[in-house]
Amino acid sequence: MDYIVWQENFNVRVDVIDEQHKRLVQVINNFLSDLGNNNDRLAVGRSLDEMIKYTEYHFCTEQLLLEKHPDFLSHLNQHWQLIKQVRKIQDDFHKNLELKADIFDFLLAWLKNHILGTDKVHFSYLRKNNLL
């Protein structure tokens, strides 16, 4: 089951980023599916680890492309805040704490706000100013 459905308006018109965003949606869906289906802890833990690892990989790619943007540090801070939040989720999971029910809403809101808001604006600026 796809909890988050990729939509064309998510595209930022930078191929590598659009492909990574699509993959990020897939790994988030895998994690949410394992969690929602009450799969065994090992499966949930693996998909959570994969989601975090891929998010960090994606952020590295984005950061290399966005470093010429005047608001780069703010964007970088948004990335670090998300990593901090998902690492807290991971820590809670490894401590056998129950994951919060609003995890889906959190991930969906962050993904949509970041891609549709910050990423689209930043990449549009870079394209417009021939900085990509």
Comparing C-alpha atoms, which of 18, 10, 55, 56 is closest to residue 132? 18
Whose tokens are 């809670």? That residue is: 92
Q: Is residue 7 part of a domain?
A: no
**CATH code at position 38:** 1.20.120.50
* Cβ-contact 19, 50 below 8 angstroms: no
Q: Which two tokens stand for residue 43?
A: 């499966």
Going residue by residue through the chain, which has 132 residues, state the pLDDT in tens, using 9 for 90 and above: 788 999 999 999 999 999 999 999 999 999 999 988 877 889 999 999 999 999 999 999 999 999 999 999 999 999 999 999 999 999 988 888 877 778 888 888 888 899 989 999 999 999 999 998
Question: What's the whole-model pTM score?
Answer: 0.90
Q: Is residue 3 part of a domain?
A: no
- The end-to-end CA distance of the chain, in Å, is 36
Say how far apart CA 121 and CA 15 lie, in whole Å. 16
Q: Which two tokens stand for residue 72?
A: 């780069």
Task: Report the number of distinct structural domains present in the chain.
Answer: 1
Q: Is residue 61 part of a domain?
A: yes
Say how far apart CA 44 and CA 30 lie, in whole Å. 9
